[in-house]
Amino acid sequence: MRTLVPAVAVWGRTAPSHSITAVMITDDQHTIVTGSQEGQICLWDLSSDLQISSKEILFGHTASVTCLAKARE
C-alpha cells in the first residue's frame, strides 16, 4: 500500500524569495494568493487593519505561475 505524505515548508518571520507574477484575493477578503516567477504559490493572511502576514507556501511548479483562478463549488 502506497501512502502519500504532503510536503510542508516552514519559515521564520520572512518568507523565501517570491517574485510575484499573479495576485488573487479570496471572496471573504481574508486571504491573498500570489503566484511567483519561481513557481511557488503563496497564501497570505490579510487582517482587518490591512496587515499582511505569510501563511503557507506551495512548491511544485516547474515554471512561473502567471495565472490564478478560484474553483467553484
Q: Is residue 36 part of a domain?
A: yes
Which one has a higher pLDDT value, 70 or 73?
70
Tell me if 26 is assigned to some domain: yes
Dihedral of the CA atoms 59, 15, 52, 41 (nearest 10)? Answer: -10
Tell me whether residue 70 is in a domain.
no
Q: How many domains does the chain have?
A: 1
Q: What would the mean pLDDT of 42-48 be, rounded to a whole number?
A: 90
Residue 44 one-letter amino acid: W
Answer yes or no: is 10 within a domain: no
Query: 53 in a domain, yes or no?
Result: yes
pLDDT in tens, 58-67: 888 889 999 9
Domain that residue 50 falls in = 20-59
Q: What is the pLDDT of residues 3-41, one digit of tens each?
A: 665 656 666 777 667 789 999 999 899 999 999 998 999
In a domain, 14, yes or no: no
Close Cβ partners of 68 (under 8 Å, ≥ 6 residues apart):
22, 23, 24, 33, 34, 35, 41
- Asked if residue 51 is part of any domain, the answer here is yes
The DSSP secondary-structure symbol of 61 reads: -
In-domain check, residue 65:
no
